[in-house]
Chains A and B, each alone.
Chain A
Amino acid sequence: MADAQSNFGSFEELAIPLFARLYNFAHWLTQDQSEAEDLVQETCLKALKGFASFQQGTNFRAWMYRILRNTFLTSRSGLKSTTVSLDEEEDDSVEPIASGTPESILLASVEQQTVQGVLEGLSVQFREIILLCDVEEMSYQEIATTLAIPIGTVMSRLSRARRAMRESLIQARAQGASREVSR
């Protein structure tokens, strides 16, 4: 077991730079400021307690996000959100991007608020993987470590999450356009 504190920097040096991003992720998961603050606080306490066992050279960021996610999943709102999730059965097949979809170009003009609304509407399972990949810019390997799933599942889940997001964005944009026409 590595002496993480003496060889790899203190917990403080490693954790504080991640703090704002951890909070952002926590708020997206909980959808509530107070719950997000509690979640970050509990995550930091758990991580601090377990820091002696953190192995030098492994990924501290993925370790912290994993603790945060596990803490969320066992919280009341986490259990509630995963219980009501009705995602289709997970398989490792990755569907190719639909070709010749001009809507993907049109989506570039979608407003940020619409994207945020669509992200909020996704299941926790889809929302978290999109946030880890596109917002936190984690590699597939880091996401696999954070979510404790194989890389093949990361790719298939990400693909399905993006498809769900694209469909919701197209729908949201169509609704916005029809409201403009009716004015």
Chain B
Amino acid sequence: MTCEEVRNKLEPYADSELSAGELAEFEPHLRNCASCAADALGLLQIKRLTRAAGLRYSPTPDFRLRMEQSIRSKSKTPWWSIRFPKLITAAVAVAVLLASVIIWQSHAERDRAYTELADMHVAALASTNPVDVISTDRHTVKPWFAGKLPFSFDLPELQNSDFTLVGGRVAYFEHASGAQLLFTVRKHQMSVFIFRQQSESIPFSMGTSTSTKLAFHMETWSERGLRYFIISDAPASDVNALSKLLRGAAH
């Protein structure tokens, strides 16, 4: 290995990210090159310093106790049964109520998914780099995801519409990778999330629906094994118009 190759891998080395094969090439060089060994030592020393300095804050005993008690009491009792104890008791005995619990659970699942996706939408907008591929050209954005996602999708032609594609990034929804695409319509920003429908983390019971949560308009549908979500503070009519364009592109 040359000094340049070693310096390119110094950080993964210090972070214990090199494979056994890479280490076997890397370490003999360090033993024989004082300059690279000094760089590696310096990096490891800064890591050690950072770790010592970073372990700075501890919760107060009072807060810790309060939280532990809270977690213990709530984790023993499912949170939904705290909110609806009578419903849970009755549901065990009454088949009709059991059905209503199933419906309620699907709503809760959908609400949780919407909240998580809304978080991701807001986080992307708050980020200095909301997208990893910046382009208004669908023929640039779509190929960027090749090799990054276990599926492919089609994007619509937006030339005669009010929508503009801003770009995209890889998003993770409960450990399943998918695409997050950013669009604008007038001054509003819209996130489109696309995940595999087969993923266990995507609620199956969501069907096709529209919703308004946390002042965001949302729409979701399933098409050709993919689950689409649109989230935006734009009017519901814009969300619906973009969903029609995306559905058209998938055919």
- Which residues of A does B touch, CB under 8 Å? 1, 10-12, 15-16, 19-20, 23-24, 27-28, 33, 36-37, 40-41, 44, 48-55, 58-59, 63, 70-71, 73-74, 78-79, 82-83, 85-87, 89-90, 94, 96-102, 104-105, 107-108, 110, 112, 115-116, 119, 125, 130-131, 133-135, 137, 139-140, 145, 148-150, 153, 155, 158-159, 162, 165-166, 169
Contacts and interface: CB of A to CB of B under 8 A. Distances in A.
B133 to A, nearest CB: 11
Given A49-B112, A112-B53, A85 B11 contact: no
B107 interface: no
A91 to B, nearest CB: 9
B126 A12 contact: no
Contact of A97 (B7, B51, B78): B7
Interface of B: 3-4, 7-8, 10-12, 15-17, 35-36, 38-39, 41-43, 45-47, 49-60, 63-64, 67-68, 70-72, 74-76, 78-79, 109, 112, 116, 119-120, 122-123, 126-129, 132, 148, 169-172, 174-175, 200-201
B132 to A, nearest CB: 7
Given A99-B3, A150-B170, 18 more contacts: A10-B76, A19-B59, A37-B59, A48-B71, A53-B201, A70-B119, A74-B123, A87-B129, A90-B132, A97-B11, A104-B43, A105-B41, A105-B42, A107-B45, A110-B49, A112-B53, A148-B170, A148-B171
By Cβ-Cβ distance, the 5 closest A-B pairs, closest first, are A104-B42, A135-B54, A115-B53, A27-B57, A96-B7
SS class, residues of chain B in contact with chain A: helix
Given A23-B59, A79-B126, A97-B39, A133 B15 contact: yes
A36 B42 contact: no
Contacts, number: 198
Nearest to B16: A139
A85 B128 contact: yes
Nearest to B3: A99
Contacts of B35: 99-100
B207 to A, nearest CB: 17
Nearest to A132: B54
Contact of B71 (A12, A96, A99, A145): A12
A53 B174 contact: yes
A155 B59 contact: no
A104 B128 contact: no
26 contacts: A20-B59, A20-B64, A27-B56, A33-B57, A48-B71, A49-B79, A50-B112, A70-B119, A78-B126, A85-B128, A90-B128, A96-B7, A99-B3, A100-B35, A105-B45, A107-B42, A112-B49, A125-B128, A130-B54, A135-B55, A139-B17, A140-B17, A145-B172, A148-B171, A165-B46, A166-B46
B128 A23 contact: no
B11 A104 contact: no
Contacts of A102: 38
A76 to B, nearest CB: 11
A12 B75 CA distance: 6
B39 A58 contact: no
B123 A115 contact: no
A37 B54 contact: no
A110 B42 CA distance: 12
B59 A40 contact: yes
Contacts of A135: 50-51, 54-55
Given A19-B64, A55-B174, A74 B119 contact: yes
